[in-house]
Structure 1
Amino acid sequence: MRAPSTLLTLGTAALLATSVQAQTPDAFRVALDGTFAPHAMPTLDGGVEGFNVDLANLIGETLGAEMTVDSAQFSGLIPALQAGTYDFLVAPVTVNEERAANLLFTEGFMDTNFAFVVPAGSPEYTSLEDFRGKTIAVNRGSAYDSYLTENAAEYGWEVVSFGTNTDAVEAVTTGRADANLAGNTVAAWSAKQNPRVDLSFEIETGLVWALSFRQDDTETRNLVDRALECLKSEGALADLSEKWFGVTPAEGSTIVTPTPGYGVPDMPGYEDSDHAVSCDFG
């Protein structure tokens, strides 16, 4: 009398296993802005390389799926995602309320902070107070330009704006500015590439970069979120930080710390799921 029940149980298990396997596609087509070094930048052979390109390929390897990474203008990425051209975006997108109301996001793959670069060999800067009265170069019209301008009265610094961040860094190396403010990864890349400047004090914003999905694709978002957790726990993202930014991530930072649930806590689209970190996607 127990045989039919056993067969039913085995059949149900097989169906569940098939269902789980079906959740992992054989291939993904993803995209990013190929001009945002060091996250993505052109290669001499016409390809694209960078932190987020490597991240995309690591996700593919973790999930056992082929990953095709397209390079496109940032302004066209989200419309193409919504149209179904791409399965998800691997561009670094800062998660905020407005964006999270229209897209699904994975958990953050790293913190998106501001950071200064200063002339090589400068004394250590440990707070914003250390920049009081300094001349600070910045990319005109950027979020960093706005931050410096809004806080100029409080800290007494002089803001000098340039058309590109490369020019702003050059102002530091030639003595026309005491420091440059940019995104933490761009600042780290500048210091890694240019021995005349050092990476300096970092301003924590409380914001993260994450990967973007259509709002109706919770299944794929959750799958890739789990892959990110695996890569963090194995140290793979810390290795990418060393490779592309020359920075060893601090303990507890987003790039090495899996986030509970799926998505970014306290943002629309977050799913409070009590699941264990696992690298088993078979």
Structure 2
Amino acid sequence: MAEFRHMVTHAVSRRSLAAAVVALATVPSLIAAGPAQARDIMAAADVGYPPFATTKPDGSFEGIDIDIAKALSDEMGVTIKVIDQPWSATIPGLKAGKFDMILAPATITEERAQSLLFAEGYGDATFSFLLPASGPDMTSLDDLRGKTVATNKGNLFDRWLTEREKQYGWTIVRFDKHSDAAAAVAAGQADAAIMYTASVGWLSKTKPVFKPSAYIVDNKEYFGYAFRTDQAELRNKVDAALECLKKSGKIAAIFKTWTGIEPLPTGMTTTVVAGYGPEGFSNYDKTEHAGACK
């Protein structure tokens, strides 16, 4: 009888062990079947370019792009971690795999779109003029005829002014930084300084000696976040989340908070683009998708 009980116990133990092995073997598959834990997204920003990304006294970052990154993180259910990179290092660093995306106001061009993936535009790359607060307003380019206009040396605004120099008869004074161009306006050395509207708004909002011009140059160019060409899935996720933030009005509100200027009513802060990426450029994906906003 004792031998019989030993045989039964041994058989039950073997069955229990086998069941345990089967149970353990199914654990990985159960984990795999559940929702995968999304990893953080590393994003490079040119911190020190207000109002898009600057450093607070405590060392943390703030600005338009930082606020949008926080909103995207909430919408996507992942954390976008922002690291500081000089603008000249962002595209090479992205292509080398040092980070996942460029979180900076890169103007979308066909040349860039051929070697990068862009999400749809999130802001309008309009530009306008920084004026002295005590001076007259500006409603057209004719108001600058014969006046002195400050700009950054060799940048796109310099080229834009130079192309129209004979037509409007303005004198161009060139500086190494747009902060120096702004200082020239404050000191009365220039009647206006040309720069992106966001920068004009931020300087006017934070420095009462300035005001923004009512005249805005809109060349239908847009700012966009960039990704590597092998990151279509990530680009598409960010693109879809941007659409949600546009629909809710969050992006337009962020721009207004930082610039004090009302975004263009039909501009890219509110316009949802069909498909993924900027329509009309290389690497645009016209695949339609339904919004699934938080």
TM tier, smaller: 0.7 to 0.9
Q: Specify the alignment match of 1:217 in structure 2.
A: 231
Q: Specify the alignment match of 1:15 in structure 2.
A: none
> Following the alignment from structure 2 to structure 1, what is the Cα–Cα distance between the partners of residues 104 and 248?
22
Give the alignment of 1:24-35 within 5 angstroms.
25-35=38-48
> Following the alignment from structure 1 to structure 2, what is the Cα–Cα distance between the partners of residues 213 and 164?
28
Q: Specify the alignment match of 2:253 in structure 1.
A: 239
Alignment deviations for residues 16-47 of structure 1 (CA, whole Å, 9 cap, x no partner): xx79x66x834211111112111111222222
The DSSP-based 3-state class of the residue aligned with 1:254 is coil
Larger radius of gyration: 2
Q: Specify the alignment match of 2:149 in structure 1.
A: 136
The DSSP-based 3-state class of the residue aligned with 2:264 is coil
Structure 1 residue runs of 5 or longer lacking an equivalent are: 1-17
The DSSP-based 3-state class of the residue aligned with 2:164 is helix
Amino acid at match of 1:218: A
Give, in angstroms, the shift of residue 245 of structure 1.
1.1
Q: Specify the alignment match of 2:171 in structure 1.
A: 158
Q: Specify the alignment match of 1:90 in structure 2.
A: 103
Alignment deviations for residues 242-281 of structure 1 (CA, whole Å, 9 cap, x no partner): 221112213111112111221111100111123334314x
Structure 2 residue runs of 5 or longer lacking an equivalent are: 1-32
Identity across the alignment (%): 37
> Following the alignment from structure 2 to structure 1, what is the Cα–Cα distance between the partners of residues 180 and 66?
26
Q: TM-score, normalised by structure 1?
A: 0.87
Q: Specify the alignment match of 1:184 in structure 2.
A: 197
CA RMSD of aligned residues (A): 1.8
> Following the alignment from structure 2 to structure 1, what is the Cα–Cα distance between the partners of residues 285 and 140?
36
2:264 is equivalent to residue 254 of structure 1: no
> Following the alignment from structure 1 to structure 2, what is the Cα–Cα distance between the partners of residues 270 and 129?
39
The DSSP-based 3-state class of the residue aligned with 2:277 is coil
> Following the alignment from structure 2 to structure 1, what is the Cα–Cα distance between the partners of residues 197 and 238?
24
Counterpart among 88, 110, 120 of residue 107 in structure 1: 120
Pairs aligned (count):
261
> Following the alignment from structure 1 to structure 2, what is the Cα–Cα distance between the partners of residues 82 and 166?
30
> Following the alignment from structure 2 to structure 1, what is the Cα–Cα distance between the partners of residues 151 and 142?
18
> Following the alignment from structure 1 to structure 2, what is the Cα–Cα distance between the partners of residues 123 and 73?
37
> Following the alignment from structure 1 to structure 2, what is the Cα–Cα distance between the partners of residues 126 and 271?
39
The 8 Å contact of residues 137 and 169 in structure 1, kept in 2 or not, is answered as yes
Q: TM-score, normalised by structure 2?
A: 0.84
**Deviation beyond 6 Å, 4+ runs, structure 1:** none
